[in-house]
Amino acid sequence: MPNSTEVRAPDPDRAPVRVLLVVAEPMVRLQLRRLISGRPEFEVAGTVRSEAEIEGAVAETRSSVVLVDGRDARTGAAAAIRLAARCGLRGVLLQEDRASLGANSLPCPTNLAAEEPGGAFMQQLAGLLRVPASASAPAARLAPARPGFRPELIAIGSSTGGPQALTELVRALAGRRPSVPVLLTQHMPSTFTAMLADQLSRCGFPAVEATDGMPLQPGRIHVAPGGSHLLVRRDGDRLVCVLDDGPPENFCRPAVDPMLRAANRVANGRVLAVILTGMGSDGLLGCQGLVAAGGVVLAQDEATSVVWGMPGAVARAGLCHAVLPLSAMADAVARLATGGLS
């Protein structure tokens, strides 16, 4: 008998969350596909059998979240969750019972065939799979920047949940692109950074995977390629990209801190840093130096972040000009980029 719990109606302004299943057992794949596809806010983007297949599948399916059957040793669950995070995606784990549950884990019923899309299990799973939407927010209330502040560069850092947040931010900025170059470091393997640049370009804001010596262009996003830190230097009267293969920082390459240090150095503090959702504290040290030199930092708030690690670190350190929901971030960036809050 189908459970009578109401299935959540889709938000017409949000595309369905694309779920990649990492499930070794065919019958489990079949039942999870049935349950997830039965909810209009989700779609199954693809299925793989183990963590070894995730990287290629994420690139092909443009998934938003990875669901792993942690009950089956064949899936390589721990490695699968780590790889999902490296790809900037939320990883959700199905477990045997509550004893071993983490924040993004859920006990899986023994008989999935008896479950329904509107049932209690799927209601709980939907809450974990759903990429947080930005809460509606009033116009951003920002303190004035230092007198005369107008950035020469905008530098964005993000990690887990970043691709979705970046898409929303860039789409909102597309109609009023800042007339300064934008640097972007998203924690992501090299397989995906060119794809990310292409995805952002389709949102109406020109983006390109950076190459060594590439001149920075106003109104264009320069994406750090996987495997290299993205730095910047002056070459006469222009700024150019520098790719650095030095050691990882904060366990990452590319990392946000070296990008911010380089931006701060060439622009003498005239940098607007935007720290979006992500695990860890990458960006904290770079923001400290930036603020000391007169730069401005915006951070995404906890409610709209998939993981409030990176933005939370700069917020707790007292470095932020403002901590904002994602829905208010584009307006704040546009206003600061034009000196509207000097």
The catalytic site residues sit at 159, 187, 282
The answer to whether the bond into 254 is cis (omega within 30° of 0) is: yes
Could you give phi then psi for residue 215, rounded to 5 degrees?
Answer: -65, 140
Characterize the bridge pairing of strands 42-48 and 17-22. Answer: parallel
Q: Whats the size of the chain, residue-wise?
A: 342
Instruction: Report how far residue 338's alpha carbon sits from residue 335's, in angstroms, rounded to the nearest whole number.
Output: 5
Instruction: Report how far residue 103's alpha carbon sits from residue 250's, in angstroms, rounded to the nearest whole number.
Output: 22
The DSSP secondary structure of 297-326, one letter per residue, reads EEEE-STT-SSBSHHHHHHHTT--SEEE-H
Instruction: Report how far residue 41's alpha carbon sits from residue 322's, in angstroms, rounded to the nearest whole number.
Output: 31
* Chain centroid offset of residue 110 CA: 33
Nearest to 252 by CA among 293, 283, 294: 283
